Amino acid sequence: MRKQNSTFKTAFISEAGSGLENNDYFAYVELDQYACYVIADGLNDLPDSKSARLATQAIILAFEEHPSIKKHTVFSLLKTANRALVKADSREKLKASVTVIVTDYAKVRYGYAGNTRLRFYRDGTVKEQTKDMSLGTQLIKEKELPENVLSRHEQRNNLYTYLGQENGFRPFVSKKFSLENGDILTLYSRGIWENLDNGELDDVFSEAKDDPQESLDNIEDLLLSKQPGNLENYTFVSIFVDKVFLDPNRKRRIKKMVAIAMAVLAIVLAVSLVLWLLHRQRQKQMDEMERRYSNMIEYIQDDNFLRAKEECGEALKLAEKLKVKKEIQEISDYQKLIEAVNVADDTLSSGKYGDAQTAYVTAKERSRYADRVADEYIDRQLSHITDYLSVFDYIQLGDTLTAQGDYERAEEKYLQAKSLATKTYFEEGRKDAIDALEAMYASRDKAEEADTQEARAKASNETGATQLASDGDKAFAEGDYEGAKAFYAMALEKYQELGDTAHAELLQTKISSSGQKAEENKQKERQAEEFVLAGKGEEAAGNKLEAKKQYLFAKNLYRELKLDDKVVEIEGLIEILETAIEQAEKESLETEETAQVGSGKEDFSGEIGPGIISSQPPATRVFGEE
């Protein structure tokens, strides 16, 4: 009954200005009890960015699910839009400024992030207005410069809070205030405030009549008359509150509430005491959970993942006891990250550097879901592993040169290995380098003492075996496990001829490992082919999103196998599928627009411009970029 007994008139203009495309977006929904109005300004450089539309749609859909004008609801709407931009699959990181208004047709509240603006007029004067979340605003405030200087300040678009921000997202939400008949709410983007000052806007609305479209026309005429050289996308929305909802049962409800309150006062006091005690206990548990959570973050930042694991486990127990789903999910993500890092650390400590490198890469994937808090530590460990492997490469190359009798160059490689190990505090590698140097010096002395043809022939055979083994290692590292088996087999034959059982046993192990890895790659390739077939089946059945997921699974496997031609092939299938999805959405929008025009009705005040989406439930309208 609230909407039926109130009158809100809404009109807007939205144009691309000097740009090729309009990256602004405006949408609103008016339900029976509540209404929501959203304006967004895309901040991306790409001309086809959909950040503003995605943010606006996320807010409208979330509001329709849980309509309210409570402060935490507005916070939730803005955080939902921020998560949608952060997690969006795009060529670049999506960013946008946004302002949202929610009302129950009697009171209103607003929230915003970035530099889209709101001005609220009552009796021709400004009652409420937003402040841009930019460095330019702070500098102007510190230097006590006129506010209109901001439209030309070089830091006006350097925002410290905006949608698409992974860390430190802090939107502003206003208090709730009452509406009166004749109030005017306005929303507008950069293209307006960079070219029209506040005084010019106030002049228009101080003389506004009953038609919001007339005021918009005056704003647009004033803007275009200035003929700016580089006019940004501009959007202006005006909401005229002609009639505010009055609750007919308010006095009767108050009397009834007083009577009930007097009757149950004693019960309420007793229940309140119990609830207070329960709340106090719960609050203590919440405080303890927050303390544990904070300790966990600090330990992670201090690279102490063992203690972080302990604190994380205790925090998760408390979260599960309190049944706070959001905190359970967040702490669980941190727990998975901590476990992955500890596994990688244990693997590194055991000297399995190749496996440790893989484990740290897996941990970094986990870090994406935990605010990337461990990225710096993981990158540092990966850098150490790279250095460790380089030390072993130098030693191995020195071994090869020693086997070839090139002692001068072998000494150079061993010294390089020793220097790098010393620089990176890699004691094991340093010891191996020193041992290799001593062994090389002994070999050199022995070779100098007994420089016979037989020794040279044997050295040549050993060099050939070492080279074959080295070629096998190289093929193994590059993922050519079949080629590695061939090299190892030839090297094994030479070592067996030389009677070198130690190297022969090592090569038997490498041959077995190569065969196992080759079989694993074949299994992955078969699995990738199954994903492709499944994707094609889903695509044939019309399940395009499921088909895309199957193709992405296949693409990841082919990328692991370094089958670039297969990766390109799958990317082609995905591109065709995405084109089909976009075409289907476009045809659906055109069908809905045709149906709306054909009905001969308009559900909102003002002229309907291009880019209108009307796929929401009744009394819902969404307007978008061109």
Do 117 and 130 form a contact (C-beta atoms < 8 A)?
Answer: yes
Asked, for residue 484, whether it belongs to a domain, the answer is no
Question: How far apart are alpha carbons 179 and 60 in whole angstroms?
Answer: 22
Same-domain check for residues 107 and 173: yes
Give 574: exposed, middle or buried? Use CB within 10 Å, 0-12, 13-18, 19+. Answer: middle
Token pair in block for residue 241: 């509150």
- DSSP collapsed to 3 states, 382-397: HHHHHHHHHHHHHHHH
- pLDDT tens digit sequence for 538-587: 888 888 888 888 989 988 988 888 888 888 888 888 888 888 888 888 88
Whichever domain contains 533, its CATH number is 1.20.58
- DSSP collapsed to 3 states, 79-134: HHHHHHHHCCCCCCCCCEEEEEEEECCCEEEEEEECCCEEEEEECCEEEEECCCCE
Same-domain check for residues 157 and 291: no
Average pLDDT estimate for 6-14: 94
Q: Which helix (H) or strand (E) holds 321?
A: helix 305-322
Same-domain check for residues 102 and 224: yes
Average pLDDT estimate for 262-283: 84
Question: How far apart are alpha carbons 107 and 68 in whole angstroms?
Answer: 11
* Total domain count, the chain: 3
Average pLDDT estimate for 139-162: 78
Asked, for residue 414, whether it belongs to a domain, the answer is no
Same-domain check for residues 95 and 220: yes
Asked, for residue 424, whether it belongs to a domain, the answer is no
Asked, for residue 97, whether it belongs to a domain, the answer is yes
Q: Which of 65-74, 198-207, 271-280, 363-372 has the highest mean pLDDT?
A: 65-74
Same-domain check for residues 328 and 200: no
Query: Which residues lie below 8 Å from residue 210, measured CB to CB, with a gap of 6+?
Result: 9, 240, 242
| End position of a domain, from candidates 357, 373, 389 | 373
Q: Which residue segment(s) compose the domain that 566 sits in?
A: 523-599
Q: Which helix (H) or strand (E) holds 260?
A: helix 250-263
Q: pLDDT category, 498, cuts 50, 70, 90?
A: confident
Same-domain check for residues 131 and 33: yes
Same-domain check for residues 217 and 149: yes
Question: How far apart are alpha carbons 285 and 317 in whole angstroms?
Answer: 10
Question: How far apart are alpha carbons 414 and 420 in whole angstroms?
Answer: 10
Give 237: exposed, middle or buried? Use CB within 10 Å, 0-12, 13-18, 19+. Answer: buried
Same-domain check for residues 145 and 242: yes
| End position of a domain, from candidates 352, 373, 394 | 373
SS3 622: strand
Same-domain check for residues 52 and 201: yes
- pLDDT tens digit sequence for 292-309: 889 998 988 888 888 988
Does position 70 have pLDDT exceeding 90, yes or no?
Answer: yes
Do 26 and 35 form a contact (C-beta atoms < 8 A)?
Answer: no
* pTM, entire model: 0.45
Average pLDDT estimate for 412-429: 84
| End position of a domain, from candidates 319, 344, 373 | 373
Asked, for residue 165, whether it belongs to a domain, the answer is yes
Asked, for residue 440, whether it belongs to a domain, the answer is no
Query: Which residues lie below 8 Å from residue 187, measured CB to CB, with a gap of 6+?
Result: 26, 37, 39, 99, 101, 116, 117, 118, 235, 236, 237
Same-domain check for residues 91 and 171: yes
Q: How many of the other CB atoms lie within 10 Å of CB of 220?
A: 15
Same-domain check for residues 266 and 145: no
Same-domain check for residues 323 and 208: no
Do 361 and 560 form a contact (C-beta atoms < 8 A)?
Answer: no
Asked, for residue 390, whether it belongs to a domain, the answer is no
Q: What is the CA radius of gyration of the chain?
A: 34
Whichever domain contains 615, its CATH number is 3.60.40.10
Token pair in block for residue 123: 């009796």
Question: How far apart are alpha carbons 351 and 346 in whole angstroms?
Answer: 9
Asked, for residue 360, whether it belongs to a domain, the answer is yes
